[in-house]
Amino acid sequence: MGVWEPLFFWLFAVGAVATSVGVLFIKNPLYAALSLIGDFLCFAGLYVLLSAHFLAVTQVLVYTGAIMILFVFIIMLLNLNEQELGERQFRLHHILAYLTAGIVFALAVSAIAPLVDQQQVATERQRVQQQAQNADGDEASEGFRVESPVPGLYAAVNEPAINRDFRAQIQSWEDGTATPADEKYRTYDPDRSFEVPPVLRASEAQAQGGTSSMFGTVEPISILLVNRFVVPFELIAVLLLAAIFGAVVIAKKRL
C-alpha cells in the first residue's frame, strides 16, 4: 500500500468527524448546513477509496448538489438573526442524546474492531509488497484481500482484488453459469437466459483493448438493481409514493 491511500483516508475521515461535530455544535443554521455539505463531500471521498464510484457521484449530485442546496436556500429565506436563534441551552434531553450517541459509538467500535485482525492484515500487506518488489512492480497491481469472521465481509481489500472478483462474476454471467438473480430474488421468467450487456462483456472489452466495466460504476449497479434487488427497489418506490400522498393530505388540511 502506497502513501496516498492512507493519507487521503485520514484526510477524509478526520474531515468527516470534524464536520459532523460542527453540525451538532454550530449555533448558526447556515454554517451548520455548510458543515453538513462538507461532511457529505468527505464521505464521497471515502466512497471513492472503497471503489464505490457510483455512490460517490450520487452523494455529491443528490445530497450535496440538490438536497443541501435546497436546505441552504430555505435557511437563507428564513433569515434568522441572533435574537431569534436565542441562547444555547443544555437541557436534560440534550444530555441524554449525547450519552446515547456515545454509547452507540462505543457499541459500534466494539462490534467492528474484532472483525479486523491487524496482525493478519499487516502480514498479508507485507507479503504483497514483497511480491511486488520481486516483480519490479507496485502493490497496486496485486490483488490484496483479507477475509473477516463474517462471511462475505473483508477485513481489508484493495481495488485490484475487487475488480478481479467482479470480472470473474461478469464472466460467469457471460458463460451462463450464473445470473445476477442467483441466491436472491429470481427473475420473473427463469427459462429465459440472461444476456450480459455489451458494455460489460469481457470479449467486447478485450476487442477494444480494455477491460470490463469496473466495480461500483453505473452499469453493474443498474443490472443488479433490476434483477437481484428488483423487489426491494419497487417496495421503496411504493413507500416514497405513499409518503408523497401523506404529505399532500396533511398539507391540504392546513390550507
| Helix residue ranges, H only, 79-189 | 82-85, 92-112, 118-134, 159-175
What is the reported pLDDT for 1? 54
Asked if pLDDT for residue 210 goes beyond 70, the answer is no
Whole-number Å distance between alpha carbons of 21 and 9: 18
Q: Per mean pLDDT, which range of 16-25, 47-56, 73-82, 187-196 is the poorest?
A: 187-196
User: Which of residues 71, 88, 105 is at a domain's end?
Assistant: 88
The reply to whether 188 falls in a domain is yes
What is the reported pLDDT for 179? 75
The reply to whether 9 falls in a domain is yes
User: Which of residues 88, 114, 134 is at a domain's end?
Assistant: 88
If you average pLDDT over residues 226-243, what whole number do you get? 84
Asked if pLDDT for residue 135 goes beyond 80, the answer is no
The reply to whether 134 falls in a domain is no
If you average pLDDT over residues 16-26, what whole number do you get? 90
Closest CA to 37 of 74, 85, 72, 80: 72
If you average pLDDT over residues 117-122, what whole number do you get? 83
What is the reported pLDDT for 192? 66
Which residues contact residue 124 at a Cβ distance below 8 angstroms, ignoring those fewer than 6 apart? 144, 146, 156
The reply to whether 110 falls in a domain is no
What is the reported pLDDT for 41? 94
CATH number at residue 77: 1.20.120.1200
The reply to whether 123 falls in a domain is no
Q: Per mean pLDDT, which range of 31-45, 62-76, 149-163 is the poorest?
A: 149-163
The reply to whether 114 falls in a domain is no
Whole-number Å distance between alpha carbons of 246 and 240: 10
pLDDT tens string 81-98: 766 666 767 778 888 988
The reply to whether 208 falls in a domain is yes
By CB atoms closer than 10 A (0-12, 13-18, 19+), residue 132 is middle
> 3-state DSSP call for residue 184?
coil
How many folded domains does the chain comprise? 2
The reply to whether 163 falls in a domain is yes
**Amino acid, res. 47:** Y
| Helix residue ranges, H only, the chain | 4-25, 29-49, 53-58, 68-78, 82-85, 92-112, 118-134, 159-175, 202-207, 218-225, 230-254
If you average pLDDT over residues 14-23, what whole number do you get? 93
What is the reported pLDDT for 206? 55
Distances (CA, A) of 170 to 177, 178, 202, 208, 214: 10, 9, 8, 17, 10
Higher pLDDT, 24 or 197: 24
What is the reported pLDDT for 60? 92
Q: What is the pTM of this model?
A: 0.68
Asked if pLDDT for residue 162 goes beyond 90, the answer is no
Higher pLDDT, 235 or 199: 235
181 DSSP assignment = T
If you average pLDDT over residues 110-133, what whole number do you get? 81
pLDDT band of residue 165 (cuts 50, 70, 90) is confident
Q: Which domain holds residue 236?
A: 158-255
What is the reported pLDDT for 104? 94
Asked if pLDDT for residue 211 goes beyond 60, the answer is no
Mean pLDDT of the chain: 79
User: Which of residues 88, 122, 149 is at a domain's end?
Assistant: 88
